[in-house]
Each structure stands twice: as structure tokens, then as C-alpha cells.
Structure 1
Amino acid sequence: MGKCLRYITANTDTEEQSFPVPKAFNTHVEELNLDVLLQKVDHLRMSESGKSESFELLRDHKEKFRDEIEFMWRFARAYGDMYELSTNTQEKKHYANIGKTLSERAINRAPMNGHCHLWYAVLCGYVSEFEGLQNKINYGHLFKEHLDIAIKLLPEEPFLYYLKGRYCYTVSKLSWIEKKMAATLFGKIPSSTVQEALHNFLKAEELCPGYSNPNYMYLAKCYTDLEENQNALKFCNL
């Protein structure tokens, strides 16, 4: 996942024409009811190869379900998936911007839905990849704010603790100039430690043992930084 560090008013319907995804199936679109659609896209998304198909299904149903919260955050999530799958810089920027706009709209409609805050945070991180230092810091602030809200609303979601660990680890490595600029923008210097990052990565592992290889990688990094080499090796070998 990209580094997690103003609001672009993208017109989703117009922007969507810029980077069409080739259809993997015939051109006939089977209309699904909402519950069936959500189950299908969640199942497809369990594999990397199914993420594009999941995105297409959501896009095919956007006119019918565009105001349904459970549809909205999944559609934003799907734009995040397409960002990850794309290797083209302009496409990645396109997916990140539209996904962020969708997730922002979802938060406005359902401020107590943790998934809306989760994917808004993630997409802010993706958008920040194309920004200068000042906007990266702005997006970092938004990322942390919405991640903390999501954790309160979804305390058993391991992905959130992995993201929080990534945030803490990144902040622990900020340069002096980055900290100084953040203090200028927000009145205080962001602070975190490798120990805090480790705590969050361990929480993700506790909630879901064997959660992910990237989580293992960051556990190993944290233990290496803390000079706990035996623990680092344990996670390198998993």
C-alpha cells in the first residue's frame, strides 16, 4: 500500500470515460439486486485476479445503487484496488482522485460507517503520492484523523492496525524539515515511534494470525530497528 500521508471535485461520470477498463465478459450486463451484488463483489475481491471484475460489476450498477452506502464505500474501495493494479501513473492518479471523491461523499452520507472512513483514509494516501511536500502533510493529517475514527468504529479490523502501524513507522522516520512543515501547518509536530508501529502490527497479527506478508515484513523491520534480531528473524522466516 502506498505511503499514507484539497478536495478534488472530480465529476465521476465524466472522468470515468478517461480510462475505460476492457470488458472481460460479453457486453450484456446482468442486473443484480443489492445484496447479491455486494456478496459477489466481496467474493471476487478475495483474489487479485477478481478485483478488476469486481470493479466492473460495481461500475455497471452505479446508476442503480449510487446512493446506497454499502455500495458507495465498496465502489470507493474498488477504485483503490484499480490504483494498486495499474502501472500507469496517469491511470493511478485518476483512480485515486475519483475514489477519494466517492469516499468523501460516503462519509458525508454516513459519518458513523467505519468502512467509509477507512477507504477515505486509504485514498487520501494514494492521492498524496502525486502531491508536493505540503499537500503530502495535509493528506497525512487527514489519513490519521480518519484512520482513528475508523478504528473506533471497527475495532476488530486488522487492516486498520496494519495501516496505523505503517503511519507510525513513517512518522518515526520523518526528516526535520517534514516535521517542521507539519508543525507550521497544524501547530504541532507529528510524533510516533517504532515501538508504537510495532504495537499496531502485532495487534493486526493478534486479530488475524498470518494476516499478511507485508505485516510480517514490517514486524521484521520494527524488530530490526529495535535491535531485537531474533524476533526479526522469526518474522523473516514466515
Structure 2
Amino acid sequence: MADDSQIIEKLDTLAGDYEIESIENVLKHVENLNLEELAPNLKVAVLRRKAEWLYALSNHEEDKKKRYELLENAYNSALSAHSIDESDFNSLKVLCSTSGRLAEESGIQKKIHFGFLFKGYLDKAIALNDNDFETLHMRGRFSYTVSNLSMVERIAAKVIGKIPETSYQEALQDLLNADKITPDVAENQLFVGKTYLALGDLPNAKIWLKMAAENESEGCVEEELVEEAKEILKDKKFAKI
């Protein structure tokens, strides 16, 4: 086996630009590693990267069943990394992103289950770093989603646990702060627009939804978000604004 110090460097080089072929190639190399021979910190680094690469691969997968399987594998890899080092911020971020996406792509029971898991991981991540684009975006997105829950979803959620108190204003603050850190992200622009829309601020909703709709999409998931922005803008209430 290569020297431990060279393993991560080699994997990152293979991952390259995160194109599908590069990701599939580096994942094959990870499968050939004997993780039990690695020091704990290196094992965490490999497992976390594996989760990130599986998550990235899911963004290119059109088949929603296969996409879900990739997300589950990514979640499990990140969870393994977290079980070794609970203070690793990057592993927590991947746990947030994977559990959040699993919640979005599940039926109501699993949606609620992963939603509660997501909130727990997110609280831990923000306690470690409260000025990170991804965590601010995810918290804003979570606040929007919880504030937008239907009555049926709220009743189902109460069976599992207490629903966090959130508001559209809290969602907007986090999403706008995320944009200040990393602007021009279609996913974040879409949720800023949707939050303004929920607040009844049509002019600002249109501004942000147009930015999302005109953004260049990379991968199937981002393309779906851009298309969502375009569909929302077709509503006749935006015609005179």
C-alpha cells in the first residue's frame, strides 16, 4: 500500500474536476483500499471523500431510484466517518447534505425521519462553524421547508418528535447571508425567491427566481432546480411586475 501521506493526495488527483468518469474512477480506487489498515484520521478523510463523491455522482443521475441509492450510500459513508470523529466538520456537512436530500426525495414517513436526523447534524455543524455557505444555506432551506409544511405533514411529524420553531424570516436571513459568502448559486437563489414568495414580496421573489432561472445548471439535480424556478415564474401574478 502507498504511504499513508500519499493516499489522500492520490485520491484527490483522481477525483479531479468531479466529472462523472473521474468520480467513478476514484470510487473504484477507494473500494480497493483496506480502510482498516489506515490511521483513524486518514480513514475519516477517505470515508468523508467517498461520501462527497457519491453525493456528487447522485447529482448526475436521472433515474431517481438509482439517485436515492447513491445518496443512501453517501449518507452511510459519512456516518461511518462521523462515528470515528464526531468533531470533523466536513463529515457533518456531508451528513447534513445527504440526509437533507434523502428527506426531499422520500415519502412522508422517511421524509420526516431524515428531516429530524438532518436537524441534529446541522445543529452540530453550526456549533463548529456558523459562517459557512453550505450550513447557512441548509439551515435557511430547512427553515423554509418546515415553515411550509402542510397540516398532514405536521401531524405526522409530531408522532416522531417536536417540530422545530422556524419562520420564513429566519430562512431568508440565512439564505441571504449564504449568498454573501458564495453568490450566484442557483440552488440558493431559488430558495431566496421561494421564501420571498412565501412572504408575499413578489418583486424580490421575481428578482431572485429570475437569477436562478438564468443560472447555468450542472447535473440533473441542479437542472431540476433551475426548471423549478422557470415554472414558478410562469405564474400570471408575476406578469405585471
* CA pair 65-196 structure 1, distance change in 2 beyond 3 A: farther
Unaligned runs of 5+ in 2: 212-241
The residue that corresponds to 1:139 in the other structure is: 114
Q: Which has the larger displacement, 86-95 or 161-170? A: 86-95
For 1:216 and 1:81, locate their aligned partners in 2 and report how far apart those are by CA, in whole Å.
20
Matches within 5 A, 1:63-212: 63-64=32-33, 66=35, 67=38, 68-129=43-104, 131-186=106-161, 188-208=162-182, 210-212=183-185
In terms of mean alpha carbon deviation, does 32-41 or 84-93 score higher?
32-41
1:54 Cα deviation (Å)? 2.8
Q: Hey, what does 2:197 align to over in structure 1?
A: 224
Deviations 1:121-158 (A, max 9, x none): 22223333564322211110001110121122233320
Matched with 1:59 is: 28
Alpha-carbon spacing, 1:97–1:233, altered in 2? closer, same or farther (3 Å): closer
Instruction: Tell me the distance in 2 between the aligned counterparts of 1:123 and 1:58.
Output: 17
> What is the TM-score of this pair, normalised by structure 2?
0.74
1:169-200 Cα shifts (integer Å, max 9, x gaps): 111110112112212211x2333211111011
Whose RCO is larger (CA < 8 A, sep 6+)? Answer: 1
Structure 2 counterpart of 1:196, one-letter code: E
Deviation, 1:233, is 4.0
CA distance in 1, matches of 2:128, 2:184: 20
What RMSD, in angstroms, separates the aligned Cα atoms of the two structures? 2.4
Question: Match for residue 19 of structure 1?
Answer: none
- For the residue of structure 1 that corresponds to 2:164, the secondary structure is coil
Distance in 2 between residues matched to 1:226 and 1:62, nearest whole Å = 48
Residue identity opposite 1:141 in structure 2:
F
Task: Name the SS of the counterpart of 2:33 in structure 1.
Answer: helix
Gaps of 5+ in 1: 1-31
Q: Distance in 2 between matches of 1:152 and 1:52?
A: 36
Structure 1 counterpart of 2:174, one-letter code: N
TM, length-normalised to structure 1:
0.74
Q: Which has the higher helix share?
A: 2
Q: Kindly indicate whether the alpha-carbon contact (under 8 Å) linking 1:183 and 1:190 is maintained by their aligned counterparts in 2.
A: no
Name the SS for the 2:59 alignment partner.
helix
SS at the partner of 1:44?
Answer: coil
Residue type of the partner of 1:54?
I
Number of residues of Structure 1 aligned to a counterpart in Structure 2 = 201
The change in CA–CA distance for 1:148 and 1:130 in structure 2 (over 3 A counts) is same
Aligned partner of 1:235 in structure 2 is: 208
